[in-house]
Every structure is written in structure tokens, then in C-alpha cells.
Copies of this chain bind each other. A is one copy, B any other.
């Protein structure tokens, strides 16, 4: 069973090492992890180094091709440069959910979305709401992130997994990631594979 390993891990200084560790954990549970940097395009990261498709488009197409071959996704939804998960990862979660793949995901930051947004209380239409600095409502459901992300996992796989306490290194601790792997691996054994 192939598992696409979505996440901003690709932006880490030791991205290749994280990818290797994630794939080792998958292998230990009988799964094949597909990391976006596998078969990475060589050369410079600048636009269009070889006169063909721009580098960014090549990366996109490689990720799409990997997702199509995968049976499941594990999304690293740790908040990235703000209150929500990495945009690319969230796109991929939507893509995999829509294709009926098994969806799992985790965040290494405990707590709810609204706790991470600088929000003020305000009365609107007779109810108390929270608004951001632009005056836009901040959703207040006590969820770990935007409801589309959280309920995608509930609906198309396993509810989002979080650590009880924040790990020392949110970008490199793979304990909760391994819980996702274990769940997918168990599901494979229990499920009826055609």
C-alpha cells in the first residue's frame, strides 16, 4: 500500500533526511511511503533552468503523479507561517479526499485554531463572535484548524492526530506521524482488499 507523505517537510533544511525517516517508519509497518522529493529534479531551483517546463510546474506535475499512484495520504498539518496548515499540503489533502483515497493527518502543535489567531470579541447580528484585524469572523468551533481540513479527515479517513504536549521540535518529531502510519497499516489488515 502506497502512502503519499504530504507536508511542508520539503522546506526543512534537512528535508531529505526527514523524508528518509518517514519512509523508514512506513516500511517498518509494511507500507511504501512516497515523499515529494523522491526522484527530485536536479539542478538549480530557479525558474525554467533547462528551457522546458518551469521548475515549479515540474514539481507540481510530479506531486500530482505521485498522488495518483498512492492509496492513502498522511498530511503534516502543523501550522506553517501562520495559524493554518501549509497551503500546498491542504491542496493535496483536498485532492486525495476527492479521489477517494484514505486520508490521515497530524499536527505537532496542540490547541485550537482560534487560539492562534489574534482575534477580538464583537457583537454581530445579536450574537457574540470573534473577529480578526480585518474585521472578518474567526471560526470558533474549537477545532485544530479550518473546518474543511478537520472534517475532511473525520469523513474520509481518521480524525486529526495531535500530541498531548508540544514536542521539542515540531518539525522533526515523528511520534504522531507514526500513529498515522500505524492506523493506516492496521486498516489495511482489517479491510477487505479486492
Contact = CB atoms under 8 A, between A and B. Distances in A.
Contacts of A45: 127, 129, 140-141
Nearest to A57: B151
A93 interface: yes
Contacts of A99: 98
Interface in A151-187: 151-152, 154-155, 171
A91 B148 contact: yes
- Copies of this chain: 2
Interface in A54-102: 54-57, 59-61, 63-64, 80-88, 90-99
Given A45-B127, A45-B129, A57-B151, A81 B84 contact: yes
B94 A139 contact: no
A24 interface: no
A117 interface: yes
B148 A87 contact: yes
